[in-house]
């Protein structure tokens, strides 16, 4: 499968092959050679502080981890088993009620066994991130990889 066909399949099937992604309503809104953009629609259940209307950081981490894994696959442009080795989250400000959450994840370096990814998370303004992330993923090869296509 060529790269553009793989990217289109990844974008379309992202939620189909990852049950928690589907349960959260997460979608890939863009896929390119280096990474992905993901979208998580606001839900009242994402609030960690209902009195002040603040998003729980756990759902932000779920979005970032999922987007970063998809970014690795987008960069490789092939089916491969991967696993999160390390995920550092820096929360810069609270996410707010009634606003969807967006994430851009870029796989900036690959070795035969490790992939390195950076991500940024925002709500209304990409220039004002609510969190940034740095992560590393293990590359375990094709055997048993989930079917994207």
CB contact at 8 A, 64 and 121? yes
Domain boundaries, the chain: 3-141
Please state whether beta strands 54-55 and 47-49 pair in parallel, antiparallel, or not at all (unpaired).
Answer: antiparallel
Domain 3-141: CATH class, spelled out: alpha beta
Contact residues for 25 (Cβ-Cβ < 8 A; gap 6+): 40, 41, 43
- Above 60 in pLDDT, residue 148? no
What is the per-residue pLDDT for 142?
73
* Token code pair at residue 107: 């796989």
54, burial (CB in 10 Å: exposed 0-12, middle 13-18, buried 19+): middle
What CA–CA distance (Å, rounded) separates 67 from 78? 16
pLDDT-derived band at 34 (thresholds 50, 70, 90) equals: very high
Q: pLDDT tens across 68-113, in order?
A: 999 999 999 998 999 999 999 999 999 999 999 999 999 999 999 9
Cβ pair 119, 106 in contact under 8 A:
yes
Rg (CA), the chain: 15
Model pTM? 0.92
């Amino acid at each position: 499968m060529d790269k553009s066909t793989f990217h289109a399949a990844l974008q379309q099937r992202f939620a189909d092959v990852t049950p928690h992604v589907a349960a959260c309503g997460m979608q890939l809104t863009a896929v390119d050679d280096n990474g992905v953009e993901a979208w998580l629609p606001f839900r009242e259940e994402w609030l960690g502080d209902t009195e002040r209307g603040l998003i729980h950081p756990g759902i932000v981490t779920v979005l970032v981890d999922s987007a970063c894994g998809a970014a690795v696959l987008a960069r490789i442009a092939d089916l491969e088993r991967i696993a999160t080795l390390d995920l550092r989250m820096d929360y810069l400000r609270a996410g707010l009620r009634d606003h969807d959450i967006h994430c851009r994840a870029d796989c900036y370096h690959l070795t035969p066994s490790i992939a390195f990814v950076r991500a940024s998370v925002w709500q209304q303004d990409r220039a004002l991130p609510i969190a940034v992330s740095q992560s590393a993923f293990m590359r375990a090869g094709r055997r048993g990889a989930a079917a994207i296509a």
